[in-house]
Chain A
């Protein structure tokens, strides 16, 4: 009897969750799909976003992401190599860094926003700009990136390292030829998670990259990302709901595209590796 009840409860939970998901996506897609057109993607917004398109936001989002990844990728890779290859798991420094990264990964994005505002915008004098927004995002993405790349490095068996040493390979060669390819899946997984988080981020950007809905002309310009556009349209602009849901739809599609293409790249890359070997 208890068994039957439990089965029913579990199944209905699954149905409920699926239902909420379909409801959520369905209502956003339903309201947004009518607005969606090629012109919507290529036109600047008019009338505070009630009409017109989202071209400047797409460009700003792209620039923010480029700054964020351009900064966080080298730093993240370097830190992961340091943590995984040059410090032992018991090393005090390594443990401290790892602990703080875990905390950092859980810090609310709004706190990153506060920090970015105080440090990049005011202390370093960058003002509200795409550059300071991108750097704030980089701070946010780094912990995820470092931890998953480090996990990738750690998954390489120690025999490989000893074998490389026995062949008389230098440390750099070992790193570039052996460890980096092996750690690639971890790196890409981290990159995907980080990109997703950065594209979706709103709270950290309001006080760092600013609110202006013009087309950005340089990295020092203020730019509005897609997510801030949704927030602004739905909260501050009466009658902006249709365009807000269209933008939300675009944002979700962009995220799905990023996920799918990374999976694709990784698949192709792995296959080529296997043939090469």
Chain B
């Protein structure tokens, strides 16, 4: 762990020193060069790409995932719930390249038919949604399983309808577990590289609509690492460091929430 941070910092220092933190956000565009004085290093479009794709995916996936977990616990017959759970686990185990490949072959042409160019923020959000959904659904499932049986019996004794029980008793009781799931899902979405790389179009600019192509921080590293030298390489390590910081923040948030110190 320390070794990893030390190396990330060591490799980013040249860029941080010669480019300066401010220029990563205020330069005109991302035209990295081996020599810091010639290049332009604005990571903002990529940061926005990452954040908007993640936000989109998590917003879409959360209700779906929570409904899936509810389905397992309160709506489905026992056999079906079991089968459905296995399905979610399988979905979680599918490699990200396969998602990316599917997105590239199936989703992108579909979106291109509707609104070219197809490879876009929307495709990224769709793929990320499918990828994040199982993570959140499994966490939500565990959270729902932890709701004390007494609460459910009490709700039944009060004559609450099924939806009344879910909304009034189960969801509030499982709130912190659900929130932890969402945070973990967010972490997975931010860190996702390959699938996003394959469907998002990878143009470095701030997207104006969901049909614009975007490039995320992760895919930027994957695309440019192969030929990056000198300060450019170091700048990529800076974006790696940035990702790491976001994740550390998220894990800390998850820990606070699961300890129940924050009311979600």
Q: Which residues of A are interface residues toward B (Cβ below 8 A)?
A: 2-3, 5-7, 9-11, 13-14, 16-18, 20-21, 23-24, 27-28, 31, 99-104, 106-115, 117-119, 123, 139, 196, 199-203, 206-207, 227-228, 230-231, 234-235, 241, 244-245, 248, 251-252, 255-256, 259
Partner of B7, one of A16, A115, A199: A115
CA gap between A107 and B241 in the complex, in Å: 10
In whole angstroms, how far apart are the Cα atoms of A64 and B67 in the complex?
39
* Closest 3 A/B residue pairs (Cβ): A108-B191, A200-B95, A13-B67
Q: List 22 A-B contacts (CB under 8 A).
A: A7-B162, A7-B163, A17-B133, A21-B87, A28-B102, A99-B255, A106-B247, A107-B191, A108-B247, A109-B193, A110-B243, A111-B4, A111-B243, A115-B4, A115-B8, A119-B3, A231-B97, A231-B101, A241-B105, A245-B101, A245-B105, A252-B98
Within 8 Å by CB of B251, from A106, A117, A123, A235, lies A106
Best-surrounded residue of A9, A13, A16, A114 (most CB of chain B within 10 A)? A114
Please measure, in the bound complex, the distance between the C-alpha atom of A111 and the C-alpha atom of B104, giving whole angstroms. 24
Closest to B189 in A: A108
Name B's interface SS: helix
How many A-B pairs with Cβ below 8 Å? 194
Flag the segment in B41-49, B68-76, B141-149 that touches A: B68-76
Q: Is the CB of A234 within 8 A of B104?
A: yes
Q: How far is the CA of A252 from the CA of B98 in the complex (A)?
A: 9
- The count of chain B contact residues (Cβ–Cβ below 8 Å) is 68
Assembled-state Cα–Cα distance A110/B198 (Å): 15
Contacting residues of chain B (184-213) with chain A, CB-CB under 8 angstroms = 184, 187-188, 190-194, 197-198
Pick the contact of A231: B100, B221, B237 (CB < 8 A): B100
Determine if B198 and A235 form an interchain contact, defined as CB atoms under 8 angstroms apart. yes
B225 with A28: CB separation less than 8 A: no
Query: Are the CB atoms of B105 and A13 closer together than 8 Å?
Result: no
Q: Which residues of B contact A119 (CB under 8 A)?
A: 3, 7
Looking at chain A's contact residues, the main secondary structure is: helix
Q: Which residues of chain A come closer than 8 Å to B8, judged between CB atoms?
A: 111, 114-115, 118
Chain A residues contacting B218 (CB-CB under 8 Å) are: 108, 110, 203
- Whole-angstrom distance between the Cβ of A61 and the nearest chain B Cβ: 11
Contact (A14, B68) CB under 8 Å given A106-B251, A202-B96: yes
Q: CB within 8 A of B93: which of A110, A113, A259?
A: A259
Check B161–A103 contact: CB distance below 8 A: no
Interfacial chain A residues near B1, Cβ < 8 Å? 100-101, 103-104
CA distance A113 to B228 in the complex (A): 14
* A-contacting residues, B109-152, CB 8 Å: 130, 133
B11 within 8 A of partner (CB): yes
Q: How far is the CB of B21 from chain A (nearest CB, A)?
A: 19
In the bound complex, what is the Cα–Cα distance between A100 and B2 (angstroms)?
9
Assuming the contacts A9-B67, A104-B4, asked whether A114 and B221 have C-beta atoms less than 8 A apart, the reply is yes
CB of B193 within 8 A of CB of A24, answer no
Indicate if the CB atoms of B198 and A234 lie closer than 8 Å.
yes
Residues of chain B within 8 A (CB-CB) of A10 are 67, 70-71, 74-75
**Which residues of chain A are within 8 angstroms of B155 by Cβ–Cβ distance?**
none
A12–B236 Cα distance when bound, in Å, is: 43
CB nearest neighbor in A for B188? A106
Task: For A106, list chain B residues within 8 Å (CB).
Answer: 184, 187-188, 191, 247, 250-251
Query: Would you call A227 and B255 a contact (CB within 8 A)?
Result: no
Interface membership of B22, Cβ < 8 A = no
Contact A248 B97 (CB under 8 A): yes
Which of chain A's residues have a CB closer than 8 A to the CB of B55? none
| A200 and B90 alpha carbons, distance in the complex (Å) | 13
- The distance in angstroms between the C-alpha atoms of A131 and B205, with both chains bound, is 37
Using Cβ atoms and an 8 Å threshold, which residues of chain A touch B244?
107-108, 111
Q: Is B156 an interface residue (CB 8 A)?
A: no
Give me 8 other A-B pairs in contact (C-beta within 8 A), A228-B97, A252-B95 excluded.
A7-B163, A27-B106, A100-B2, A109-B191, A113-B222, A114-B240, A117-B225, A244-B101
Q: Are B11 and A231 in contact (CB under 8 A)?
A: no
